[in-house]
Amino acid sequence: MYKSLLNWRLFLFVAMAVVDFENDRFEWKEVWKIEYLRPIAAFHNTGGGRLLVGRTDDGEYVGVKDPKGIAKSISDTVMNKMHFQVFVNIDNIEGKDCIIVDVPPGNRMVDLDGKFYVRVGNTVQALEGEDLREVLLNEKGLQWLDAPCEIDIGDLSKEAISFFISKGKESGRIPISVDENDVSGVLNRFNLMTSGVPNLTAAILFSDNPQAYSRGAYLKIGLFDGKGSLIRETYVEGPLIMIPDRAMDKLLASYVPPMYMYDGPSVSRYNHYDYPKDALREVILNALMHMDYKKSQPVTISIRPDELEVFCLGGLPGSMTVDKLFKKHHSVRRNEALARMFHVAGFVEAWGQGIAKIIESCESNGNKIPIFLEDQGGLSVVMFPNILEAELSHMNEKYSDSITVSLLRLICEDPKLSANSIAKLLGISERTVRSRLKNLREDGIIDRKGSAKSGKWILIEK
């Protein structure tokens, strides 16, 4: 511990040696006043810093009277009022005895006379409102969504609670004996009561109007053209526990519907998706679980011609980074209770396997691996459409029929297929296949490289 503090002081000394202006780590005062305990508290709560006493606002070193007495007073007062140690030294600068107070970073927030202070740039600010409530909850080992909420148990949606219990029983994570009609019992069983009343997690999960308790507790879908203009949008609202299913239903019905494909001699039909369902659902679930619900903006899904972006405010929780996401890691959750409820319902796993699931699902569907970006105070996951569907989106409508789509898919999967083999796989005549292949080649959609016997088909990128 002492070694780390010494390393921190050395870093601070080197940093301050080349900085001669007040910033988030450095401040100076002409004389010592008891009110300057505030910047000391703020430094401790915001990564540490240095306070110098004996310098005017204009930057002139004037020193202090009785430096030993003042240095001892500062050290004793900080310990008595805030219960942590500062490193106080007397330094002769330009012939003047000045006091330097090095404030170590704290591993917990401290208050000064009942108020919490933080450093914002070169200013000291007192925490208020939701920021203050979050600090107080953290002191108790709780999170923002664990706070008690002004909602009656009777105002919770019985449909949403029944949906949750049903899903949990299907997943085997809720015993069959649990009575969905015993709302109070359900809330207590899953620690959704705080101080005898439902907490915010219960309210946004099971209320028909969760936005009354968190303005960002919904999901918004937007479709944009190639120039970035909004074509249409949809608001997915209601109990948060039901939003993932509702969002997927809306996406697949109106925004990224599956294409009908045909396979085999029997010409059996199946769905082929631009964006794999499992990956898309996992990304949406992660956004809803890690969203910062203190904010007023919802999770957004932006669909553009060549990508789909899911964005949530809050960024990655804790010490998690984008690089760590792609390595073996423990599950880190901003909203512990919320994530636990989605897990109990069988929607997600609990062991940090979501990213691997997303990547595996995309690769098996022919999609590129998504990009994860921390930006604008949040996290974006950018997904790319299946390569074949991305090409088809630029084609004339005459190539969007099911037979041509299936033909193109087959030659993408096996470029060496002959017209006869394609005809057998699709259960249609070889003449029809050759006619479609000819039209596609003439229009520059595909090409053939090599001989008729040993050559291969190439899908030409547009």
Q: Where are the beta strands (DSSP E) in 105-243?
A: 111-112, 115-120, 123-126, 193-194, 197-198, 219-224, 230-236
Structural domain ending residue among the three candidates 127, 156, 174: 127
Together in a domain, 233 and 378? yes
Together in a domain, 429 and 312? no
CATH at residue 318? 3.30.565.60
Q: Choose from 156-160, 313-317, 421-425 the range with maximum mean pLDDT.
A: 156-160
Structural domain ending residue among the three candidates 212, 233, 257: 212
Q: What is the pLDDT of residues 132-143, one digit of tens each?
A: 666 555 555 556
Together in a domain, 206 and 123? no
Together in a domain, 68 and 178? no
Query: Model's pTM, two decimal places?
Result: 0.59
Cβ partners under 8 Å of residue 217, min gap 6: 204, 210, 211, 240, 293, 298
Together in a domain, 318 and 196? no
In a domain, 132, yes or no: no
Together in a domain, 321 and 236? yes
Token reading at 338: 């919320």
Give how many domains the chain has, as a whole number.
4
Residue 226 banded pLDDT, cuts 50, 70, 90: confident
Cα torsion 237, 242, 243, 246 to 10°: value is -90
In a domain, 140, yes or no: no
455 burial (CB, 10 Å; 0-12 / 13-18 / 19+) is: middle
Pairing relation of β-strands 268-272 and 259-263? antiparallel
In a domain, 134, yes or no: no
In a domain, 135, yes or no: no
| pLDDT: which is higher, 330 or 255 | 255
Q: What is the pLDDT of residue 376?
A: 75
Together in a domain, 73 and 122? yes
CB 219 within 8 A of CB 236: yes
Residue 429 banded pLDDT, cuts 50, 70, 90: confident
Together in a domain, 100 and 190? no
Together in a domain, 191 and 70? no
Q: What is the pLDDT of residues 239-262, one digit of tens each?
A: 999 999 999 999 998 888 876 555
CB 334 within 8 A of CB 292: yes
| pLDDT: which is higher, 146 or 408 | 408
| Helix H or strand E encompassing 67 | helix 67-82
In a domain, 111, yes or no: yes
In a domain, 44, yes or no: yes
| pLDDT: which is higher, 397 or 186 | 186
Q: What is the pLDDT of residue 225?
A: 86
> Which residues form the domain of 323?
219-387
Together in a domain, 232 and 366? yes
Together in a domain, 266 and 361? yes
Residue 38 banded pLDDT, cuts 50, 70, 90: very high
DSSP assignment, residue 266? Answer: T
In a domain, 275, yes or no: yes
Together in a domain, 382 and 419? no
Residue 165 banded pLDDT, cuts 50, 70, 90: very high
- Give alpha helix (H) positions in 330-415: 336-344, 354-364, 387-392, 402-413
CATH at residue 21? 3.30.950.30
Structural domain ending residue among the three candidates 387, 414, 442: 387
